[in-house]
Chains A and B, each alone.
Chain A
Amino acid sequence: DAGITQSPRHKVTETGTPVTLRCHQTENHRYMYWYRQDPGHGLRLIHYSYGVKDTDKGEVSDGYSVSRSKTEDFLLTLESATSSQTSVYFCAISEQEQETQYFGPGTRLLVL
């Protein structure tokens, strides 16, 4: 998975609780992305980062926030998880913006 790890790999949580997912890369790529993958949909961009402390919203950013304090780490936070955020979350990295993206192994999140 191109030097990308995600943690946790699986999580079950309750509605209303905060959740933070972590993406860690060892490739020193500038760009990092968070996607969610749901049945019937292609990968949908939540947020992305184009450098330390530089982030922007994707198409499905409501209810999510991100932070990037170091090149290698990109955190995704669900401030108050809802059942609609049950999904598989993938982190991706790329050297150039919106060029080939390499994906992590994913985090399966279940919100009860």
Chain B
Amino acid sequence: GESVGLHLPTLSVQEGDNSIINCAYSNSASDYFIWYKQESGKGPQFIIDIRSNMDKRQGQRVTVLLNKTVKHLSLQIAATQPGDSAVYFCAERGSNYKLTFGKGTLLTVNP
């Protein structure tokens, strides 16, 4: 999984499977988190966000889970499709009220 600070990891899944992309954050005071999707040659696209007073939030085919105890964030994509192939990265808003972006995880969906 990803950390705001590690080299770009990769995840390869079969079409139709569920994908789980992880993100570890370091600042226990971070209060807001965002997941982005970035396709090759394009700008980052907002997927879903979550505040620190929540543990889980669901969107269309995506779920974000926040575990503040271990400072871990995950993005679950249900029934992964080839169009989901992209780099996914998380962002956290720390105590300085600035967003810090992770380097991302490359998701490859095999047909």
Binding site for B on A (CB under 8 A): 1, 4, 40-45, 90, 97-106
Residues in chain A near residue B91, CB distance under 8 A: 42-43
Kindly list chain B residues whose C-beta atoms are within 8 Å of the C-beta of A43.
44, 91, 101
Complex A-B: 12 CB contacts under 8 Å: A1-B43, A42-B89, A42-B103, A45-B98, A98-B97, A101-B46, A101-B99, A102-B46, A103-B44, A104-B43, A105-B42, A106-B43
Task: Mark B residues whose CB is within 8 Å of A.
Answer: 4, 7-8, 32, 34, 36, 41-46, 49, 89, 91, 93, 97-104
Q: Quick one: which of A41, A45, A90 contacts B44, CB cutoff 8 A?
A: A90
9 A-B pairs closest in CB distance: A42-B101, A103-B43, A43-B101, A103-B44, A105-B43, A42-B103, A106-B43, A42-B102, A104-B43
For B7, the closest partner residue in chain A by CB is A40
For the complex with contacts A42-B101, A103-B43, 6 further pairs of A-B residues with Cβ separation under 8 Å are A42-B89, A42-B91, A42-B100, A98-B97, A100-B49, A103-B36
